[in-house]
Amino acid sequence: MAVFVVEDDKAVRESLVLFLRQVDLQPVAYESAEALLNAETLGPDDTVFVDIGLPGMSGAELIHCLYQRAGRPRIIVVSGKPQHVLERELSCFEEAQILRKPLDADSLASIFPENGLH
């Protein structure tokens, strides 16, 4: 299983990567959707943390691209947007999980319970 973080905010990206490393995961981080798509071949065992408010290709556009693939990865949306905005932007992506900013250890731990985080 590979874990990817797509987040343009350097502080959030580095914090998320640090947390994931502390639970024995080795995430690869990107600051744009385009960088991820150009560099990685994603599969159904992978997890992608996606900031919904990315510059260039938005997080919603990236999720749409990933949903078009056979064997799409697990998608975790990272956002500080209001709930009604997220519901509108993500209405076609029922399977995506949502992590609210600011991130906290309990919310992050709930994403990977198999790593003994609770």
| All domains in the chain, ordered by first residue | 3-106 (3.40.50.2300)
What's the chain look like in SS3? CCEEEECCCHHHHHHHHHHHHHCCCCCEEECCHHHHHHHCCCCCCCEEEEECCCCCCCHHHHHHHHHCCCCCCEEEEEECCCHHHHHHHCCCCCCCEEEECCCCHHHHHHHCHHHCCC
Which of 27-31, 35-39, 42-46, 82-86 is least confident? 82-86
The whole-model pTM stands at 0.86
pLDDT value at 116 more than 80 = no
And the tokens for 79? Answer: 């956002």
Min mean pLDDT across 4-13, 64-73, 107-116 is at 107-116
Query: In whole angstroms, what is the distance from residue 95 CA to residue 11 CA?
Result: 27
